Amino acid sequence: MSEFATRLLAWFDDHGRHDLPWQHPRSAYRVWVSEIMLQQTRVETVIPYFLAFIERFPDVRALAQAPVDEVLHLWSGLGYYARARNLHQAARLLVERHGGAFPSERDALEDLPGIGRSTAAAILAQAFGQPEAILDGNVRRVLARHAGIEGWPGSPGVQRRLWSLAEARVPGLRMADYTQAIMDLGATVCTRSRPDCGQCPVAADCVALARDRVAELPTPRPGRALPVRTRWAGLLHAPEGVYLERRIASGIWGGLYSLPEREHSGELCDWILSRWPEARAIASPVKRIGHVFSHYRLNLQILPFRLPPGACGIMDGEQAIWYNSRLPVRVGLPAPIERFLREHGNPE
């Protein structure tokens, strides 16, 4: 066992997180769900979502048999909804290809939607005790600082170096504990800002600390200004509720129900009046929804309309619903849209 792993495991025994809900029991299914939820999301945020998800879908077969709308509903608020769609599709493939069991080979796991190298390794290490290296955001930060690795960790060259370091430090035993330990170190001690180097078990030979470069490493992603994208959405009130339509499966908020959108206000008005000629615009202060995605800022301008009686007779099969915020149906909604509907989803 490497000296790095020895010190890290000793620290973990006294200071690591031992009571996370996916640790008891630490089954492949629970580890998998937690790893997908934890991608770009903090543990504190994930825990209540994980508990609700596992209560509704206690195993792979329950998840595979569920409607995707219900899966997305329980994911609403976590963001990055492709994760939920991939989780649902992967569950179906696990049942179809493996009888609902998790394969213990990395290639077979990586062949499933949404499972990359690090996620597959985390499942194998934590659920099967296999000697596999992981490289999530917390681990990249720990290794970049400890070894003094320059460059943005998302670049291919730096990533290759970090994978080599991660593999070299893997112990031959206590893989579940070691994997959790290195994630915990990054999440609780070697944090992005204000790291507590005095409590770090591997500080003695940390290159970044020795060279007073902890604040500089890992190298931040090259800066870029996010473009602003303006879209127009219709808030269409009817006695039955607000008209929502399902977005296409790919892209932002894919597969979720949301307000109908168009690129231009005139295009949106033309579409509304072509379907409901008696629709009337509601005079109200301008409403908007602002939201920041990874690659742009959304400026969603809202046009409210009151629809005529009987509007619910015009639908697009299962691709549209009438949503009542007082009695919400169990479908997936983008968190900004859900918040907006709670406040503005009733006729004025």
Residue 103 belongs to domain with CATH number: 1.10.340.30
pLDDT over threshold 90, residue 295: no
Instruction: Give the DSSP per-residue string, 154-168.
Output: TSHHHHHHHHHHHHH
Question: Could you tell me how many helices (H) and strands (E) the chain has, helices first?
Answer: 14, 8
Strands 257-258 and 241-246: antiparallel
pLDDT of residue 137: 93
Task: Please state which of the ranges 31-35, 107-111, 275-279, 328-332 shows the lowest mean pLDDT.
Answer: 328-332
Shared domain for 203 and 298, answered yes or no, is no
Between 285 and 108, residue with greater pLDDT: 108
pLDDT of residue 139: 97
**Residue 238 to residue 347: CA distance in whole angstroms:** 8
**Residue 149 to residue 207: CA distance in whole angstroms:** 9
In a domain, 222, yes or no: no
Domain boundary among 210, 237, 271: 210
pLDDT over threshold 70, residue 267: yes
Range of the domain at 239: 228-344
- C-beta of residue 331 within 8 angstroms of C-beta of residue 73: yes
In a domain, 193, yes or no: yes
pLDDT over threshold 90, residue 21: yes
CATH number of the domain at 301, please: 3.90.79.10
Which residues are catalytic, by number? 35
In a domain, 101, yes or no: yes
pLDDT over threshold 80, residue 316: no
Confidence of residue 318 (pLDDT cuts 50, 70, 90): low
pLDDT over threshold 90, residue 200: yes
Total domains in the fold of the chain: 2
Written as one letter, the residue type at 50 is F
Percent of the chain with pLDDT over 70: 97
**Residue 29 to residue 27: CA distance in whole angstroms:** 5
- What value does the mean pLDDT take over residues 320-337? 88
Residue 259 carries which DSSP code? -
pLDDT of residue 132: 97
Candidates 168, 60, 190, 41; CA nearest to 123 is 60
pTM of the model: 0.86
**Residue 149 to residue 43: CA distance in whole angstroms:** 26
Shared domain for 160 and 29, answered yes or no, is yes
In a domain, 304, yes or no: yes
Between 205 and 252, residue with greater pLDDT: 205
Shared domain for 268 and 308, answered yes or no, is yes
CB atoms within 10 A of CB 71: 22
Shared domain for 279 and 307, answered yes or no, is yes
Residue 308 carries which DSSP code? P
Confidence of residue 1 (pLDDT cuts 50, 70, 90): confident
Shared domain for 326 and 265, answered yes or no, is yes
Shared domain for 283 and 139, answered yes or no, is no
Strands 228-238 and 261-262: antiparallel
Average pLDDT over the chain reads 93
Between 312 and 300, residue with greater pLDDT: 300
> Which residue has 């493939």 as its token pair?
93
End-to-end CA distance of the chain, in Å?
A: 67
Confidence of residue 346 (pLDDT cuts 50, 70, 90): low
Shared domain for 165 and 243, answered yes or no, is no
Confidence of residue 251 (pLDDT cuts 50, 70, 90): confident
Angle at 166 between CA 162 and CA 169, to 5 degrees: 140
The residues with which 298 forms a beta bridge, in sequence order, are: 229, 291
- pLDDT, tens digit (0-9, with 9 covering 90-100), for 69-124: 999 999 998 989 999 999 999 999 999 999 999 999 999 999 999 999 999 999 99
**Residue 178 to residue 170: CA distance in whole angstroms:** 8
- Burial environment of residue 224 by CB neighbours within 10 A (0 to 12, 13 to 18, 19 or more): exposed
Shared domain for 260 and 289, answered yes or no, is yes
In a domain, 219, yes or no: no
Shared domain for 234 and 206, answered yes or no, is no
- What value does the mean pLDDT take over residues 121-140? 96
The residues with which 305 forms a beta bridge, in sequence order, are: 236, 281
Shared domain for 246 and 281, answered yes or no, is yes
